Amino acid sequence: MLWKLFICFKLLAVAQAYRILIVCPMAARSHFILANTLGRGLVEVGHEITMISPFRDPKPLQNYTDIVLTGLLEAKEKNSARLWDLETISPYKFINMMNSIGEKIVRDVFAHRNFQNFIDDSNQKFDLIIVQNFRTDALNVLQCHFDAPLVTLAISEANFWVNPLVGNPSPPSYIPDIFVGYSSRMNFWERLINTGLILVNYIYNYIDFIPGQKRLMRQYFPHCTNRDDILKNVSLVFLPAHESYNQPVPLVPNMINVGGFHIKPPKELPGDLKEFMDAAAEGVVYFSMGSNLNMTLINKQTEKDILQALGKLKQMVLFKHNDVLEDVPSNFKVGKWFPQSDILAHPNTILFITHGGLLSTLETIQYGVPVLALPVFADQKTNAAKAETAGYGLIIPFLEISEERLTATIDELITNRRYRENAKAKSVISRDRPVKPMDLAIYWTEYVIRHKGAPHLRVAAMDLTLIQYLLLDVVAFVIFVVITVFLFVFITCKKFFLFRVNKIKKE
């Protein structure tokens, strides 16, 4: 009897299996981790996944197909030194730079031979398209080409890149732009700068970014460019966010928080690493600047300050570095790669020194480890500001690192129990969910397919122009009425006054 039930369940799973295309255009491993984890999760419940990205899954599952955009990763790594220069860039210049990078990424994807061969294959049919957004809105044209609903996979919490796609409100009074490095508690000048940044974003959007994306669509998909809604016909947005990490913000019904879905249950560490961690009686400090920032390219004095500050600790140090280091302190273990999530889950890990990237932030919150953030660019500064505001971390901008400041800050984080207590409190919130984030992502993926794009989740704001949405026409009308009434009263009073003066003169 049991085997019959098993066969019924298997047949049911096959009957509900869908073909899904996932596009991860950016040559950044952290972005690929998000897209790949979602893809593998969908395969494990019976769906068929095709992944377009600059990466190849080293252990692809059955029903998981890679379309590799060869050469894009190598081209990006040649420019990795420039990432360290972004710490001092103005957020206003950063807007223009991101728009240009996004346009280049789309052009590289559309023009790639492997992508062209894939698009030209008339046998390709999909039930859903999932596109990871990195200022690459023109990729949304794939939902028209394949006549399938579109889901956007964001690379951060709700922000200006994805809010307009579904009409999500984002008041600049308490929601900072993710690249400005403010917390939600902004003073007057920060709110002024943040509002100016949002206005500049809107201006760039309408005079530069959107026209550029439409040009790319016309060039490569001329059969779809007669659709005015092509850039905003998004059924759902997945946000790698959660209340334990980001501040509470308004979300329209088709924006879903699935932050932490990439975090798997901790595994046992490899033998030598397990011995190192288990033997650390005073604890372990884990240092990693992520997958995009190459530590071999930093200033030698900064590297010396970091090594000397960490070398003085009585704690053991796991140090992620891209090359072989000379004169390594005796308490160090250096490696090009470490199983980060499993290390953070180890009870002897007492501090995480990080660049403040999104995935690192979600993982350190999941396991309740305090952080010392050394942000460099993009959302790292905002993530760091949130850690400091929430009381589970401190910040040292990377350009301001010195041995003395690093030593004092690490000592404060290790000896003051409140940072670990706050981190543990955040961890409790992160784990207290009615459903696992991966299960939530799978449910909503299938929901959009079942309900043919789920148009009932779309808010009416998407049918308004910017002038209508901001009530500029209403404001203009009210101002016109007020001015008209004022002029009428003024002219009437003036005529009445002149009439009285003339009458008095005659008398």
**Statement to judge: residues 394 and 317 lie in one domain:** yes
**Statement to judge: residues 409 and 355 lie in one domain:** yes
- CA dist 131 and 234 (Å) reads 10
Render 389-400 in DSSP notation, one character per residue: HHTSEEE--GGG
**Statement to judge: residues 391 and 418 lie in one domain:** yes
Does residue 190 form part of some domain?
yes
Higher pLDDT, 39 or 246: 39
Does residue 257 form part of some domain?
yes
Does residue 75 form part of some domain?
yes
* Whether residue 369 has pLDDT greater than 90: yes
**Statement to judge: residues 239 and 281 lie in one domain:** no
**Global model pTM greater than 0.95:** no
Does residue 465 form part of some domain?
no
Residue with tokens 């072989």: 324
**Statement to judge: residues 92 and 159 lie in one domain:** yes
Does residue 487 form part of some domain?
no
397 contact partners, CB below 8 Å, separation of at least 6: 87, 374, 375
Both tokens of 163, joined, read 């809010």
User: For the stretch 316-349, what's the b/e string if a residue is b when 16 or more beta carbons lie within 10 angstroms of its beta carbon?
Assistant: bbbbbbeeeeeeebebbbbeeebebbbbbbbebb
Does residue 307 form part of some domain?
yes
Average of per-residue pLDDT across 447-472: 90
For the chain, how many structural domains are there in total? 2
Both tokens of 172, joined, read 């600049």
**Statement to judge: residues 222 and 243 lie in one domain:** yes
The residue segments making up the domain with residue 209 are 18-261+439-458
Sign of CA dihedral 485, 491, 497, 499: negative
Residue from 234, 213, 210 nearest 149 by CA: 234
**Statement to judge: residues 175 and 67 lie in one domain:** yes
Q: Which of 415, 431, 447 is the last residue of a domain?
A: 431
* Whether residue 481 has pLDDT greater than 70: yes
* Whether residue 507 has pLDDT greater than 80: no
Sign of CA dihedral 82, 86, 90, 93: positive
- Asked if 174 and 165 count as a contact pair (C-beta separation under 8 A), the reply is no
Q: How confident is the model at residue 227 (pLDDT cuts 50, 70, 90)?
A: low
**Statement to judge: residues 114 and 197 lie in one domain:** yes
pLDDT at 84: 62
Does residue 478 form part of some domain?
no
478 contact partners, CB below 8 Å, separation of at least 6: none
Neighbours of 440 (CB within 10 A): 17
**Statement to judge: residues 307 and 181 lie in one domain:** no
> What's the pLDDT tens digit per position in 53-76?
999 998 889 999 999 999 888 877
**Statement to judge: residues 246 and 331 lie in one domain:** no
How far from chain centre, in Å, is Cα 271?
A: 34
**Statement to judge: residues 37 and 163 lie in one domain:** yes
- Asked if 57 and 33 count as a contact pair (C-beta separation under 8 A), the reply is no
* Whether residue 94 has pLDDT greater than 90: no
- CA dist 31 and 59 (Å) reads 18
CATH number at residue 381: 3.40.50.2000
Higher pLDDT, 245 or 250: 250
**Statement to judge: residues 79 and 220 lie in one domain:** yes
Does residue 507 form part of some domain?
no
